[in-house]
Structure 1
């Protein structure tokens, strides 16, 4: 019987990263990278940009100590920006259903909403200092034959950033 094809030696970086990150997330927050990566689809257009799942708190069970099986759904903590938390409160039942649909079983029975900033602060866009001397002449020669003004301006900005970052 022929063995199924398996990749030898080729592994995607995302598989390695998820393999390293998932155990830490599971231990610390009770969530995995698959939930984080799919959050925009789960939350929908209305809440994707202003919410982020933070952790799932699974309840401790007395039956766990006794060695009995049994499962209880957890509480998902969601970070939400400002006044949108009120709208999220009203839509939390639908969101819980979407999350449970994502997991394929009733993993969540309650949501805890925490108001805090979700988006990272915007990066400052520093403009490089204008080139002078030999570097400026060299860059001008490189973009001289380009006819499109927009392309020429873009390449000049790129060249200025690249050439100004080099040490003399």
Structure 2
């Protein structure tokens, strides 16, 4: 009797595989959207908003003849910040659609309610060893955009953390 040797798989991949179908069925969203929400919403709204669900148009509704219509994203927002989010919703829709890579959202509906901070817990990262920090810096030479540089720095810090296994080895 032979057993297939399984490779090591991150627990987050397993959990996302289990959660995504349930989230898609219940709320029409994925763990990828939830996990990237802080970057999509930006610093101004990341701490006071949370995507709740996407309401997709039903089949057979008027205007549905061509097959696809974008959905409506319901966002929970705390208190008076909802007014500011209302004014910034066109930019937020553009960011969300850029995240999906197609026009997935046509409208945002804002619901005022407390936003739980429990999902905001992030893994604290240790400073990179000097050699790894220098390596990351040399990789980013020539990148002029400050926003892109900051995003790559965050990604590089997460990937190059001590104890992280490289998938390319």
Give me the TM-score of the superposition, normalised by structure 2. 0.63
1:84 aligned partner: 81
Counting matched residue pairs gives 113
**What's the CA shift for 1:11?**
1.2
In 1, Cα distance between the equivalents of 2:42 and 2:7? 38
For residue 106 of structure 2, give the secondary structure of its aligned residue in structure 1: strand
Tell me whether 1:108 sits opposite 2:105 in the alignment: yes
Q: Unpaired runs of 5+ in structure 2? A: 119-169
1:8 aligns with 2:3: no
- How large is the Cα RMSD of the aligned pairs? 2.2
Equivalent residue for 2:67? 70
The structure number with the bigger radius of gyration is: 1
Aligned to 1:43: 41
Deviation for aligned residue 1:120: 3.8
The 4+ residue runs of structure 1 with deviation greater than 3 A are none
Instruction: Note the alpha carbon deviations across 1:62-99, whole angstroms, 9 max, x for none.
Output: 17xx9x76110000000000000000000000000000
Cα separation, 2, equivalents of 1:21 and 1:87: 32
The equivalent of 2:136 in structure 1 is none
| 1:157-168 map, 5 Å | none
Secondary structure at 1:114 match in 2: strand
Equivalent of residue 54 in structure 1, options 52, 55, 67: 52
Report 1:141-160 matches (<5 A): none
Q: TM-score, normalised by structure 1?
A: 0.63
SS at match of 1:39: helix
1:97 equivalent in alignment to 2:94: yes
The Cα of 1:9 is off from its aligned counterpart by 2.9
> 1:117 maps to which residue?
114
